A and B are shown apart, each in its own frame.
Chain A
Amino acid sequence: MTTEAPPRRKRATAESMAAEQRSISVSEFFTKNRHLLGFDNPRKALLTTVKEAVDNSLDACEEAGIVPTLWVAIEAAGKNRFRVAVQDNGPGIVKKQIPLIFGKLLYGSKFHRLRMSRGQQGIGISAAGMYGQLTTGKPVRIVSKIGKNKPAHYFEIQINTKTNHPEILNGKGEGEDIPAGDKGIEYCNKYGITWVAEIPPLEEGGKPEMLVSGTRVTIEMEAGYKRGKGSVDEYLEQTAIANPHVTIYYSDPDGNLKTYVRSTTTLPPEAKEIKPHPYGVELGRLLAMIKDDKGPSTISQFLTNNFSRVSSAVARRICEAAKISTRASTKKIGRNDVDKLFEAIQNTKISPPETNCIAPISEELLLKGLYQVVPGEFYAAATRPPAVYRGNPFQIEVALAYGGAMATKKVGKEELNQLLSESDARNIKKFLITTFDGMGPDGADKIVKASGLSPRMAPAKMKSAEREALLEAMQGVAIGEGQTMQILRYANRVPLQFKMGDCAITKTVMSTNWRSYGLSQSRGSLPSGPVTIMVHMASVWVPFTSESKEAIASYDEIEKELRLALQAVGRKLGMFLRRRITIRQENERRSIFLRYLGEVASAVNEINGTNRDSLYDNLLKVAQRKTKEADTKLDTRGKRIEDDSELYGDNVIIVEPQSILDEVQVKSNGAATANGGASKKGKVQKELF
């Protein structure tokens, strides 16, 4: 046997490799890694696009002090192709900036400042445009109007992925003004663009309001549209919950119109911009800041000017700890000194950053939002005081709704048919789990069993009789216990719909012990029961796990605040559930006494001939008094509580069952109440027997 020499291959040399090496543009990078931005699949691409556009619109409106009204339209434009348009009544964008905002990745106003806003990096909307361009070759189309007497301006923009620069396609690279009047309508028809010129009146017979300014962005893209979990519909609904000051007009690809009307015209308090806190600065950043320092200044000046919460006294302490003169110039300071300075900052006690830069939704509005969208019997909310992670202030708010009908019971026949035809689930069970929030495998099994259908039947192939059987089972089966807690996660008022498992919120909900609050929960999983919980993290900088902004990273400080907030609502829920159990037991007690009173009266009558009925009445009176006594409420420490409202504290809504009391009992700190008006303190007074 002879061994053949391996074939010779030309090896790369340093020179040949160098020829291949070149810089990568951000655009190119994201073209290849679109999942990082939330464009992993056609369905999610559609959602991300809507989301980015809506977030930008809301930020712009709020910053300009305009109560936001949004139009979201999704139209089918061929197979697997959709045209997404989002318009707002915001301040509009000046001509010069439009191409940069929509046609250049990493361009924006929000990245360099520390201020609470929905968008952060300036990638979102331009990435959506790039995605559309990539899948359909169509440019992003923008209409923007900045003032009452100014014309609307129309742009068609493409992004050059090599250079990450916008290219304007119309009007010789300048864009075009849309003429006023009929000509404008003609122009719009010609280019296939829409511009909503007036805000429809909210009340019937009201006058429409002319749109003074606003922006409309239209992107055509390859996408998939589906209702249910993780859909555009869900996103808009959740947005409406967390943003009660927003009105959204939404038309879906099937032409259905849905309007979310604002419940308040008060804008959330304006978030302030803050300087970074020294604790949140990393060494590299500190180096860069010192290098960038304009005009030679002393270290003391540098620290007090560039950071929040650093007074000259604090600066002096830092310098002392670092053994640097407070008067040393930033231009002359050496690398070693910066190291020391960095260390000294960490070891010096500096008061936490200002927290008034955060605008929480507020417990009252949280309850309002949740009450309107999630039906239930009990609502509670809690807001934590602001806290700080890595020098960034943040605040946690939690609201909880208990009870009420399952998502499966809210579905009508038409809607179910639509959902079934859209679903790509393998079988009915999978369909139920993926379509309805809070539906666990146990609940799905129950429904399938009750419907009498084969569990392996494909949803798309169901006949109409079978669909009806399924609908009936969905309406009929009580799955309260088999249901898992539904979590609505928000970061700076933006709903987070994906990567639930990675999110600090979900992790904290799971690790919180809900059993002590009356819910059942197996170790390390979500508690079960008809509970919807809404968690909002507001911060100047929300630490997302990825650029697609779907999950909050787990910092110890954040998890701690989350836990405390969850426990606060949990305690209230526990009290409510315990009280319900007490009431139930009390009823049982009464019925037991009642049962035996007659026998006792008869026996006594037989022995001594006493009038049976008068004795019975006397005994009844004692029984009433006895059980009434047991009705008095005790608080967690066993003290007697005279008034219901003291029991739960502020910001709780209790919806009493209809049969007992046909009104909603609300107590929220002296503010407007959730049943839309008068604060009625309903008292539950059931007749004993």
Chain B
Amino acid sequence: MAKKKIIKKVIKKVRRSSAASSSAKTNGSASMAVRDKKTMQAIKAMADNVVEIAARSRTPHVDIPSRSLSNVRFNRSRKIIEMGGNKNRRELFNLSQAKSYMQTLLVGSGCKRLIEQGKTTSIRGLYYMLKHRIAGTSENTFEEQSECDPIIEDIEVMLDALREELHLYAQNKGNLFGDLTLIDDGTELNCSRVGRNGYSIPSIVEPHIVQFVKHNAKFILHVEKDTVFTRFVEDQFWKNHQCLITHGGGQPPRGVRRMLNRLHNELGLPIYCLLDNDPWGYYIYSVIKQGSINLAFESQRMAVPAAKYLGLRSIDLERCQLSDSVIIKLNDSDKKRARQIAEYPWFENKANWQKEIKRMLDNDFKLEVESLISKDISYVTEEYVPQRLRDKDFLD
């Protein structure tokens, strides 16, 4: 009963904010949403700082919170990764930083334009918006999108503004299937009746865009990629087990993670992950559970510390009596990555995880979820996952 109340409240809120946003649209840039004003102020402050420093004949610089392992802290009580206080200074008059300093300001000006015009674009769109030939040279402001993306993340952490607050979104990647009714930007839909691929999770799923209406699910099964996702959809797993199925196309993008976070927190659904048995699978689980190192500043909104790891396990070759032909040998980078993961503070003190990783290294091979198909095409949906669920056989 309590659940339903929450949902209603959300809907009310949403109606109010959608009214506000529609008024913003009609009035143009003259009156902005409060959130946009705050973002604009941050961007302006950055630019004003350049003017002021230049007037004092000093070197213009920006201080960007460091997005590296050394600057993240594992908060043991909240069980999420938090960002530390280290900052990296980026100066205009430093050979190796001059270009990225210029790019930082350029991204700032691009976001300012988007906010002013009340439009959003993908990060690829912003890249094309800002890409041009630098006057008098044969050099471009950005040569590739890969140069632009990290700068956007820099701006996010530096201005303490979320991506959607900068009017940016990433490419959609990841789907959801199951009996969940939601409103996406004013359109109500049921995620089990939007085609075989289900609901494509958008990059921005904040409450003012996406609202949950009702659902009939007991848990969420998150799988790694769409092959396995399709298997579960086709085999009607969601119906048979009353659950939602999601995938993130490998490393789940922010939209998917934010969605999982909201589904878990607002609808109280436990999350089980079915991922490949390799260091990358482990890391995907780690990202869903306590946040990524790169986006540590957003962990609070995204991490689901209660998420459980269902499989595949390094004992599965024997346990499921798979044929030897499905194994893939570990390469050097796999081994290195595995050892790194074992040393992360959030895995460090977990005996069963240490055992799991050690076992994989001892096996010297990895297993993909797809390998279960070698037993039977529906082995994974009819036997493997149901059995784990029945036995409550998870890694935490």
Q: Which residues of A contact B (CB under 8 A)?
A: 589, 592-593, 595-600, 602-604, 606-608, 610, 615, 618-619, 621-623, 625-626
Q: Across the interface, do B93 and A615 meet the contact criterion of CB distance under 8 Å? A: no
- The 4 A-B pairs of least Cβ separation, nearest first, read A607-B47, A618-B54, A603-B105, A596-B102
Q: How far is the CA of A607 from the CA of B50 in the complex (A)?
A: 11
Q: Which residues of B contact A (CB under 8 A)?
A: 43-44, 46-48, 50-51, 54-55, 57-60, 92-93, 95, 98-99, 101-102, 105-106, 108-109, 112-113, 134-137, 139, 141
Q: Across the interface, do B54 and A622 meet the contact criterion of CB distance under 8 Å? A: yes
A-B contacts, 14 of them at CB < 8 A, read A595-B134, A595-B136, A596-B101, A596-B134, A599-B102, A599-B141, A600-B102, A603-B108, A604-B51, A607-B105, A608-B44, A608-B47, A618-B55, A626-B59
Partner of A606, one of B51, B58, B112: B112
Partner of A622, one of B57, B101, B106: B57
Q: Would you call the interface of chain A mostly helix, strand, loop, or mixed?
A: helix
Given contacts A593-B92, A603-B109, A619-B60, 13 further A-B contacts (CB under 8 A): A589-B95, A595-B137, A596-B99, A600-B92, A600-B102, A600-B105, A603-B102, A604-B105, A607-B43, A618-B55, A618-B57, A622-B93, A626-B93
Q: How far is the CA of A606 from the CA of B51 in the complex (A)?
A: 13
Residues of A within 8 A of B109 (CB): 602-604, 606-607
Residues of B within 8 A of A604 (CB): 47, 50-51, 105, 109
Residues of A within 8 A of B93 (CB): 593, 622-623, 626
Residues of B within 8 A of A603 (CB): 47, 102, 105-106, 108-109
Q: How far is the CA of A591 from the CA of B2 in the complex (A)?
A: 65
Interface centre among A589, A621, A622, A625 (most CB of B within 10 A): A622
Q: Nearest Cβ in chain A — how far from B358, in angstroms?
A: 49
Q: Across the interface, do A610 and B47 meet the contact criterion of CB distance under 8 Å? A: yes
Residues of B within 8 A of A607 (CB): 43-44, 46-47, 105, 108-109, 112
- Contacts A595-B134, A600-B101, A618-B55 hold; do A608 and B48 have CB atoms under 8 A apart? yes
Q: Nearest Cβ in chain A — how far from B147, in angstroms?
A: 14
Residues of A within 8 A of B137 (CB): 595
Q: How far is the CA of A623 from the CA of B40 in the complex (A)?
A: 29
Partner of B98, one of A592, A622, A625: A592
Q: Across the interface, do A595 and B139 meet the contact criterion of CB distance under 8 Å? A: yes
Residues of B within 8 A of A600 (CB): 50, 60, 92, 101-102, 105
Q: How far is the CA of A145 from the CA of B218 in the complex (A)?
A: 128
Q: Across the interface, do B58 and A599 meet the contact criterion of CB distance under 8 Å? A: no
Partner of A619, one of B54, B95, B113: B54
- Contacts A595-B134, A603-B102 hold; do A615 and B51 have CB atoms under 8 A apart? yes
Q: Which residue on B lies nearest to A620, using beta carbons?
A: B54
Q: Which residue on B lies nearest to A611, using beta carbons?
A: B51
Q: How far is the CA of A437 from the CA of B116 in the complex (A)?
A: 71
Residues of B within 8 A of A625 (CB): 57
Q: Across the interface, do B46 and A622 meet the contact criterion of CB distance under 8 Å? A: no
Q: How far is the CA of A623 from the CA of B94 in the complex (A)?
A: 10
Q: How far is the CA of A622 from the CA of B91 in the complex (A)?
A: 12
Q: Nearest Cβ in chain B — how far from A229, in angstroms?
A: 46
Q: Across the interface, do B51 and A622 meet the contact criterion of CB distance under 8 Å? A: no
Q: Across the interface, do B102 and A608 meet the contact criterion of CB distance under 8 Å? A: no
Residues of A within 8 A of B102 (CB): 596, 599-600, 603
Residues of B within 8 A of A598 (CB): 134-135
Q: Nearest Cβ in chain B — how far from A627, in angstroms?
A: 8
Residues of B within 8 A of A621 (CB): 57
Residues of A within 8 A of B60 (CB): 600, 619, 622
- Contacts A593-B93, A607-B44, A619-B92 hold; do A599 and B57 have CB atoms under 8 A apart? no
Residues of B within 8 A of A592 (CB): 95, 98-99
Residues of B within 8 A of A615 (CB): 50-51, 54
Residues of A within 8 A of B57 (CB): 618, 621-622, 625
Residues of B within 8 A of A593 (CB): 92-93, 98
Residues of B within 8 A of A589 (CB): 95
Q: Which residue on A lies nearest to B141, using beta carbons?
A: A599
Q: How far is the CA of A521 from the CA of B62 in the complex (A)?
A: 45
Q: Nearest Cβ in chain B — how far from A595, in angstroms?
A: 5
Q: Across the interface, do B95 and A610 meet the contact criterion of CB distance under 8 Å? A: no
Q: How far is the CA of A619 from the CA of B101 in the complex (A)?
A: 13
Q: Which residue on B lies nearest to A621, using beta carbons?
A: B57
Residues of A within 8 A of B54 (CB): 615, 618-619, 622
Interface centre among B44, B51, B108 (most CB of A within 10 A): B51
Residues of B within 8 A of A608 (CB): 44, 47-48, 51
Q: How far is the CA of A572 from the CA of B47 in the complex (A)?
A: 48
Q: Across the interface, do B108 and A596 meet the contact criterion of CB distance under 8 Å? A: no
Q: Across the interface, do A599 and B108 meet the contact criterion of CB distance under 8 Å? A: no
Residues of A within 8 A of B50 (CB): 600, 604, 615
Q: Across the interface, do B51 and A610 meet the contact criterion of CB distance under 8 Å? A: yes
Q: Nearest Cβ in chain B — how far from A581, in angstroms?
A: 15
Residues of A within 8 A of B95 (CB): 589, 592
Residues of A within 8 A of B98 (CB): 592-593, 596
Q: How far is the CA of A240 from the CA of B60 in the complex (A)?
A: 60
Q: Across the interface, do B59 and A622 meet the contact criterion of CB distance under 8 Å? A: yes
- Contacts A621-B57, A622-B58 hold; do A599 and B44 have CB atoms under 8 A apart? no
Q: Which residue on B lies nearest to A618, using beta carbons?
A: B54
Q: Across the interface, do B44 and A606 meet the contact criterion of CB distance under 8 Å? A: no
Q: Nearest Cβ in chain B — how far from A172, in angstroms?
A: 90
Residues of A within 8 A of B135 (CB): 598
Q: How far is the CA of A653 from the CA of B113 in the complex (A)?
A: 59
Residues of A within 8 A of B48 (CB): 608
Interface centre among A599, A602, A606, A619 (most CB of B within 10 A): A599
Residues of B within 8 A of A596 (CB): 92, 98-99, 101-102, 134
Q: Nearest Cβ in chain A — how far from B263, in angstroms?
A: 38
Q: How far is the CA of A592 from the CA of B95 in the complex (A)?
A: 7
Q: Nearest Cβ in chain B — how far from A625, in angstroms?
A: 7
Q: Nearest Cβ in chain A — how far from B47, in angstroms?
A: 4
Q: Which residue on A lies nearest to B54, using beta carbons?
A: A618
Residues of B within 8 A of A602 (CB): 109
Q: How far is the CA of A604 from the CA of B48 in the complex (A)?
A: 8
Q: How far is the CA of A349 from the CA of B31 in the complex (A)?
A: 100
Q: How far is the CA of A603 from the CA of B92 in the complex (A)?
A: 13
Residues of A within 8 A of B106 (CB): 599, 603
Q: How far is the CA of A207 from the CA of B44 in the complex (A)?
A: 86
Q: Which residue on B lies nearest to A585, using beta carbons?
A: B95
Q: How far is the CA of A248 from the CA of B136 in the complex (A)?
A: 57
Residues of B within 8 A of A622 (CB): 54, 57-60, 93
Q: Nearest Cβ in chain B — how far from A622, in angstroms?
A: 5
Q: How far is the CA of A619 from the CA of B47 in the complex (A)?
A: 13
Residues of B within 8 A of A597 (CB): 92
Q: Nearest Cβ in chain A — how far from B92, in angstroms?
A: 6
Interface centre among B47, B106, B112, B141 (most CB of A within 10 A): B47
Q: Nearest Cβ in chain B — how far from A61, in angstroms?
A: 61
Interface centre among B47, B54, B55, B102 (most CB of A within 10 A): B54
Q: Nearest Cβ in chain A — how far from B168, in angstroms?
A: 16
Q: Nearest Cβ in chain B — how far from A613, in angstroms?
A: 12
Q: How far is the CA of A321 from the CA of B237 in the complex (A)?
A: 111
Q: Nearest Cβ in chain B — how far from A689, in angstroms?
A: 12
Q: Across the interface, do A599 and B134 meet the contact criterion of CB distance under 8 Å? A: yes
Q: How far is the CA of A626 from the CA of B112 in the complex (A)?
A: 30
Q: Which residue on B lies nearest to A608, using beta carbons?
A: B47
